[in-house]
Structure 1
Amino acid sequence: MLKRVVLLLGFVLLQALPAAAHPHVWADMRSQLLISDDGMVTGVRVQWTTDKAYALDALDGFTPLADGTYSAEDMKKLTDENLDALKDYGYFIFFRFNGAPQKIGAPVEGAQTYDTTEKQLTLYFTVPLETSLDPRKGIIDLKVYDPEFYIDFEYIDDKPLLISKAIPPGCTAELLPIVGDAGLQQTKDMLATKDKSWKPENGEDFGSLFAQAAEVKCTP
């Protein structure tokens, strides 16, 4: 598994973040970029598998069926509750086009499953972009993260980034490397020179500095 970058933030960010900022929930994720027939990026479908402790808490109050699973009605209720809670956080989905933040729409196709062997929940949902993006006209950047560090998102090893259809010739979609030790040290040194009021440029937050990005770009 890729190392969990957020666990290092307490060391890296020093006084830039509240002392209590550390993850309480861990989620292994996969992202699928949605591509239209004409090669435009229209949104993303995400898959988040959370840790066992979270599942135990989230399912409290629901009655399991005889086989240990939960009814479709219960899974829908939990999914609706999850998506409603995520609304104020932009569903932790952050798109940028040539560095500029992009607006997203309301999630659709929400679903959730419970693995009785691993005792983990997996949440699925699709987030559309308000305006489709043409990778032939600029770099598209997607980051999935919790700005408040309550949830630690980590891409899985097996096919972490998918695309729904072929992207235009000359274009690539890839998951960029996570920040290494040298990059963490460089960011630490930079933050040490800033006061507590400093914020990253271009409307970014601290979480964005460390989130692993998926990037779509085309050669001229």
Structure 2
Amino acid sequence: MTKLLLPSTYIAFFTQLRRRFSILLLGALCIIPSVSIAHPHSWVDIQTEVLGSSTHITGLRMHWTFDAMTSAYMLDGEDTSAKNKVTTFQTIADSVMENLLQEHYFTYFYQNEQPIKYKVSPGGSLSQDRMKITLSFELPLATPQPLPEKPLELRVFEPSYYVDLAWKANSDITLAEPLKEHCQVRVIKPNPTAEQMSYAMSLPADADPDNALGQLFTQTVTIVCQPKL
């Protein structure tokens, strides 16, 4: 089976993540020709918990579940024997997290259109449920944010839209228990035009990446709070 070439800039980033992981995330390209001519090529289901207290938001806890084909490529050639599976999974997770840092973890958090900064994630872990692999990690905020009166906005996307990262339902983004009394979350669907959708579907696998696509097709999570008086 021949693996199709990916745009050089996209490969460059995912080669940093992991030599194999650069091709993994586009595993569908290699097996399903009808998929290989359209964006996206890999799918990640997101679950997010907003962490905090009754007065501040302190970070995000992420769980990214890769589609079955991407998961299979992720483990291709790795030692997943009972003896070495835990070590192998942690090695992969450490490498991925180290390099995701260079891309801001594909996670963008805003208050009044101003970015909210993170600390370096303390690390991630991999787990497996049947055919799918999940990467779990936390993103602590550089400075805890007082519960805002105006909405916060959260987006998670890969700029070229080769990877579709999405919350499948409102229930996939939750609040830590102390925040539930004061805040609400909502997932807003993207609204690309028919022309933009047609353009994304028409891009060949070896096209130069269009780093404007990710924002067009990403969801926005709003976090609205009523600060404790």
Q: Name the residue aligned to 1:35.
A: 52
Secondary structure, in 3 states, of the residue corresponding to 1:176? strand
Instruction: Work out whether 1:51 is the aligned partner of 2:58.
Output: no
Conservation of the 8 A alpha-carbon contact between 2:46 and 2:64: yes
Task: Tell me how far 1:205 sits from its aligned partner.
Answer: 5.4
Alignment match, 1:24: 41
- 2:216 and 2:139 map into 1 onto residues whose CA distance is 22
Equivalent position amino acid for 1:35 in 2: G
Distance in 2, matches of 1:168 and 1:73, equals 37
- Whole-Å Cα distance in 2 between the matches of residues 214 and 84 of structure 1? 26
Partner of 2:193: 185
Give the one of 175, 179, 188 matched to 2:186.
175
What is the CA distance between 1:158 and its match in structure 2? 7.6
Which residue, 153, 162, 187 being the options, matches 1:150? 162
Partner of 1:212: 219
- How much does 1:126 deviate? 0.3
> Which structure has more helix as a fraction of its residues?
2
- CA distance in structure 2 between the aligned counterparts of 1:205 and 1:39, rounded to whole angstroms: 36
**Alpha-carbon spacing, 1:139–1:91, altered in 2? closer, same or farther (3 Å):** same
**Partners of 2:47 and 2:195 in 1: how far apart?**
26
Query: Which residue does 2:119 correspond to in 1?
Result: 105
TM-score normalised to the size of structure 2? 0.68
Partner residue of 1:16? none
CA distance in 2, matches of 1:114, 1:97: 35
Partner Cα distance (1:168, 1:58) in 2: 36
8 Å contact from structure 1 (residues 141, 213) kept in 2: yes
Which residue of 65, 69, 78 corresponds with 1:62?
78
- In the alignment, is the contact (CA less than 8 A) between 2:160 and 2:212 conserved in 1? no
Instruction: Please name the residue that 1:121 is paired with.
Output: 133
- Taking the aligned partners of 2:145 and 2:170, their CA distance within structure 1 comes to 27
1:40 CA displacement: 0.9
Where structure 1 has 5 or more consecutive residues not aligned to the other structure, the ranges are 1-19, 189-203
Residues 217 and 205 of structure 1: is their aligned pair in 2 closer, same or farther, counting only changes over 3 Å? farther
Contact 1:70–1:114 (Cα < 8 Å) also in 2: no
User: How many residues in Structure 1 have an aligned counterpart in Structure 2?
Assistant: 179
Give the gaps of 5 or more residues in structure 2.
1-36, 197-210
What's the offset of the Cα at 1:31? 0.6
1:139 equivalent in structure 2 = 151
Structure 1 residue 216 displacement after superposition: 1.4
Q: CA deviation at 1:26?
A: 0.8
CA RMSD of aligned residues (A): 2.9
What pairs up with 1:56-95 in 2 under 5 angstroms? 56-65=72-81, 71-95=85-109
C-alpha distance in structure 2 between counterparts of 1:219 and 1:54, whole Å: 41
Give yes or no for contact 2:56–2:144 (8 Å, CA) kept in 1: yes
Distance, in Å, in 1 between the alignment partners of 2:93 and 2:177 is 27
Identity of aligned residues (%): 25
Give the counterpart letter for 2:103 in structure 1: Y
